[in-house]
Amino acid sequence: MSTAAPITIDTTRPGVPLSRLIKVELRKMFNTRSGFWLMMSIAIVALLATIGCILFVPNDQLEYSVFGAAIGFPMALLLPVIAILAVTGEWSQRTGLITFTLVPHRASVIAAKAVASVIVGVVGMSVALLIGVVGNLAAAAINGVDAVWDFGVSDVVGLLVANVLGLLVGFMLGVLIRNTPGAIVGYVVYSFLLPVIFQLLAGLQDWFRDLRPWIDFNFAQGPLVDGGPEGEQWAHLATSGLIWLVIPLSLGVWAVLRSEVK
């Protein structure tokens, strides 16, 4: 009777590199049918927004900034959902046990998900803005006028940064809540309800009007798509971002690192 050789684990082998984890997370985003069409929705929505501008915006107002604004608004809702699903899928689809068993370094997995989400967001926004360029050229050709490029490089960079920050807020909610419906509802409340409350409060209370730029992250991001922040506006963005993004994200990552995966 032969005896099976004991199984040994080589603990000295290097861990899975972050670049490989990022590739895996990117494949997971596109491999399922729902994930594929969610990614495709970025281009589809950008195309629909571009066509809508050509059809409904008066000819003398068709400028690239109009296309940029029309494309940027739906992206502000789509990109955070992509980031939320990248995180909460591990819990809602019960794949977390496999993922964190194969790669027990949870911090590396979370970092890979964040980087993959940002890559998808930047590439998606770039594709959407290119569709807007084609739309602006097509509108100029249809109307027989020169295309107006009033949306410069700084405006494009500001729009990208604003959407990446929105995506990271979605990622933060995904890590903090770890439940897809709950995180999406949280993002809707954060993006559409809180700004209204802050605006009403600023209109009623003088003391809050001066305080608002320091604690309202959405308000502080306004200069990003309006020529770029200057001076104290950077401090507003950093302070409100610390309150609404950095601290909750740190708490969420801390909870993920210590939670029991079932």
pLDDT tens digits, 13-37: 777 889 999 999 998 888 777 778 8
pLDDT tens digits, 49-58: 888 888 888 8
Structure tokens that stand for 123 in this block: 């590439």
- Residue/partner pairs of 206-213 with CB below 8 Å, 24 or more apart: 213/240
Number of H helices, E strands in the chain: 12, 0
Predicted TM-score (pTM) of this structure: 0.87
Write down the domain spans for the chain. Answer: 18-257
Q: How far apart are CA 164 and CA 36, in angstroms?
A: 20
**What are the backbone dihedrals phi and psi of residue 178, each rounded to the nearest 5 degrees, phi first?**
60, 35
Read off the pLDDT band of 241 (50, 70, 90): very high
Q: What is the reported pLDDT for 4?
A: 67
Residues in the chain: 262
Q: What is the reported pLDDT for 148?
A: 82
Q: Which residue has the higher pLDDT, 7 or 170?
A: 170
CB of 83 closer than 8 Å to CB of 174: yes
